[in-house]
Structure 1
Amino acid sequence: MRDDRRLRRRRETVQEILDTALDVMAVEGVAALSMAEVARRVGVRPPSLYQYFPSKTAVYDALFERGMRETVEVLEPYRAGLSEDPRGAILAGQQATVAWAMANPVLAQLLYWRPVPGFEPSPRAFEPAVRQLEILRTALQAAVQAGQLSPAAAAEEGIALYTALVSGVISQQLANEPSAQVEQGRFSRLTRTAVDMFFHFYAPEEGESHGSDLRRGRAPAAD
């Protein structure tokens, strides 16, 4: 029981440190995280923080993992809709992801930008990002099987294009109107348009054409 209480207190302290680090980063900037300021707000001496995190990089790493796990949790509920309407499920999941990013701008910056020079997430922290990519690939493959997308959409280039479109919406919104409502944001309200553009570009076609050749990364035949 004593060990359980000790572990519980440790977990609670770890979460308090991370929450406080987010508050500091929100004010000072993501790259300007001060361990001394975190310690002051938590109410401990700076050396005491290193009992929980050996370095500032470890704090960034834990926050990156937290953010990625939260985005995966946001997407998971929409997987159930892939069997009926993959396109609708993809759009709903993407709108939820954009809403999460706007509600968590500091974590979103850490996930979608590179605000901290030299920081690279550890394999453990990056594991949820791999899971997120697997969810996207599964969703796009479901849309292919439903006849909503061409097979190229679920290939590596198609996945790269999709993530570029969506991360672009998030990045532009955070950079220009971070406090806007998701439904009214100049860029966040374009989430549906971005997804529609992707589905239009990778629309399935019968036979080959210049357009389908380009979608598959081939140059069109000379006329």
Structure 2
Amino acid sequence: MREDRRLRRRNDTVREILDIALEVMAEEGVAALSMAEVARRMGMRPPSLYQYFPSRTAVYDALFERGMRETVDVLEPYRAMLSRDPRGALLAGQQSTVAWAMAHPVLAQLLYWRPVPGFEPTPRAFEPAVRQLEILRAALQAAVSAGQLSPAAAEEDGVALYTALMAGVISQQLANEPSARVEEGRFTRLTRTTVDMFFHFYAPEEGECDDSDLRGGRTPAADRP
């Protein structure tokens, strides 16, 4: 029980350190994080802070992991919609992701930009990013299987284009109108339009179908009356 209490206290302190680090980054800039300033606001000496995080890079790494895990949590509820309406699920998930980025601009910069020279997330911190990409691939493939997208949309170039478009929406909004409401932002309000553009570009051509059309007994478009 004493071990459990110590672990809880340590975890609480770690969360507080990260929260204060975000405050400092919001005020001074993402790349201007000062461990000494974090320690000062925590009311501890810098050597004590290093017992929790051995370096500034370790703080960035933990924040990157936190941000990516939160974005995955944002997307998870929409997976249940994929079997009914992949396009709707993709749009709803994207709108929620954009809203999260606007509510957490410091973390969004760390996730979608490279504001800290030389920083690379560790494999553990990057693992949720891999999970996020897997969710996107599954959503695109579901749209392909439903006949909403061409199979090319779920291939490497399609995934790369989709992520570039959405990261661009977030980056442009944060760079130009960071305090705007997500539904009114010059760029964030174009989220639906951006998704529509992607679906238009990768619209299935006549006669094109996914293998699941045949497995599920659906008739390819070219053979339909």
Shorter chain as denominator, the TM-score bin is: over 0.9
- The residue aligned with 1:188 is 188
- The residue aligned with 1:156 is 156
Give the 5 Å matches for 1:1-223.
Answer: 1-206=1-206
Output the aligned Cα RMSD: 0.7
C-alpha deviation, 1:206, in angstroms:
1.5
C-alpha deviation, 1:58, in angstroms:
0.2
> Take 1:207 and 1:80, find their aligned partners in 2: how far apart are those partners?
29
> Take 2:4 and 2:136, find their aligned partners in 1: how far apart are those partners?
38
> Take 2:4 and 2:131, find their aligned partners in 1: how far apart are those partners?
31
Stretches of structure 2 that go unaligned for 5 or more consecutive residues are 209-225
Query: Across the two proteins, how many residue pairs are aligned to each other?
Result: 208
- The residue aligned with 2:218 is none
Alpha-carbon displacement from aligned partner over 1:113-149 (angstroms, at most 9, x marks no partner): 0000000000000000000000000000000000000
Alpha-carbon displacement from aligned partner over 1:25-49 (angstroms, at most 9, x marks no partner): 0000000000000000011001111
Alpha-carbon displacement from aligned partner over 1:161-182 (angstroms, at most 9, x marks no partner): 0000000000000000000000
> Take 1:201 and 1:161, find their aligned partners in 2: how far apart are those partners?
11
Identity of aligned residues (%): 87
Amino acid of the structure 2 residue aligned with 1:89 = A
Amino acid of the structure 1 residue aligned with 2:36 = A
> Take 1:129 and 1:175, find their aligned partners in 2: how far apart are those partners?
22
Amino acid of the structure 2 residue aligned with 1:17 = I
> Take 2:101 and 2:131, find their aligned partners in 1: how far apart are those partners?
18
Instruction: Give the match's secondary structure for 1:83.
Output: coil
Runs (4+) of structure 1 moved beyond 3 Å? Answer: none
> Take 2:29 and 2:174, find their aligned partners in 1: how far apart are those partners?
13
> Take 1:104 and 1:144, find their aligned partners in 2: how far apart are those partners?
32
Stretches of structure 1 that go unaligned for 5 or more consecutive residues are 209-223
